[in-house]
Amino acid sequence: MSITKLDQIIELVKTKPQKRLIAAYANDAHTIEAVHNAVKMGVVKATLVGDEATIQQVCKENNIDVNDFTIIQEADENKAAAKACEIINNGEGDILMKGLLSTDKYMRAILNKERGLMPGPKAVLSHVTVIETPRYHKLIICGDVAIIPAPDLNQKIAITNYLVNTARALQIEKPKVAVLAATEQVLPAMQACVDACIISKMGERGQIKNAVIDGPLGVDLAIDMECVQIKKVKSEVAGDADCILFPNIETGNVFYKCNTKLAGAELGAMVVGAKVPCVLSSRGDSTQTKLYSIALAAAVAK
């Protein structure tokens, strides 16, 4: 049965062998509390890479049992990020998570050509967000909202595969993918429409596997069955999309922020395309969002 709620992801990963999360420079209460919640719920096992004395103090101040973690001493943030990647490259971790270090330093560690987590020079790093909104009947798996500003066709194909793989990890056997544009009309002058046509045809021909893909579709047609009926559009995807591929980062970023800020949506998110899923949470994320993000990464991790 396919996953339709974020809570179900947590229950799903509890039924599987536990993955080990490696938190890079985990010196802050935000990271430690989020990881601890995941550990106590049986979502992951965890290794914290950072300054051991600081981690012990944070645990003491927040009534967290430090023995729930494995701690690797490294007081320098850049070296801690490199060490976290090294642990994963040595086969001793399945998920990476950002701690107190800045996002650019975290990403540099992942992208490092010699010691990072990229599987090859042509790999595409992207961001997948899974949104649960009260106005839709199932989860929306979408990208990219945070990493690639203006994806070209090859990057869009890579993102589409990431969305499909994530959906399948959530037990959606053949996800429906909507390739977004400002209109459902095929307008050669609009690059988003052209790319959507190509990606849709690739899905039809089996070049992108395990999915039903349609586009170009406006966001209204992608998720609103009443709109589909009014416009008389014939599509297996329209009104029932599992996944949404955005034409650019502005579209995706506005979509997910409007859902969370105006519609009360909750989400989980991760960076994909590296050797392992990477949790990229911010201090502004709720505890629940961080937990869902860890669970999502654990569901996708091999």
What is the CATH classification number for the domain harbouring 157? 3.40.718.10
Cβ pair 26, 48 in contact under 8 A: yes
What pLDDT, on the 0 to 100 scale, is given for residue 282? Answer: 76
Which CATH number belongs to the domain containing residue 288 in this structure? 3.40.50.10950
Tell whether 244 is covered by a domain. yes
Shared domain check, 231 and 142: yes
Tell me, yes or no, whether 155 and 86 share the same domain: no
Q: Buried b / exposed e across 184-217, counting CB within 10 Å, b at 16+?
A: beeeeebebbbbbbbbbebbeeeebeebbbbbbb
- pLDDT of 287 reads 85
Q: Are residues 76 and 169 in the same domain?
A: no
Amino acid 284: pLDDT: 75
- List of the chain residues with pLDDT < 70: none
Question: Both 279 and 227 in a single domain?
Answer: no
What stretch of H or E contains 24? strand 19-24
137 and 65 inside one domain: no
Residue 279 domain-assigned? yes
The answer on 214 and 260 residing in a single domain is yes
- Asked, for residue 1, whether it belongs to a domain, the answer is no
Helix (H) / strand (E) containing 107: helix 103-111
CB 182 within 8 A of CB 147: no
Residue 16 lies in a domain: yes
Across the strands, what pairs with 217?
180
Tell me if 210 sits within 8 A of 168, measured CB to CB.
Answer: yes
Domain total in the chain: 2
What is the reported pLDDT for 121?
A: 85
Give residue 174's pLDDT. 97
User: 153 is in which domain, residue-wise?
Assistant: 126-266
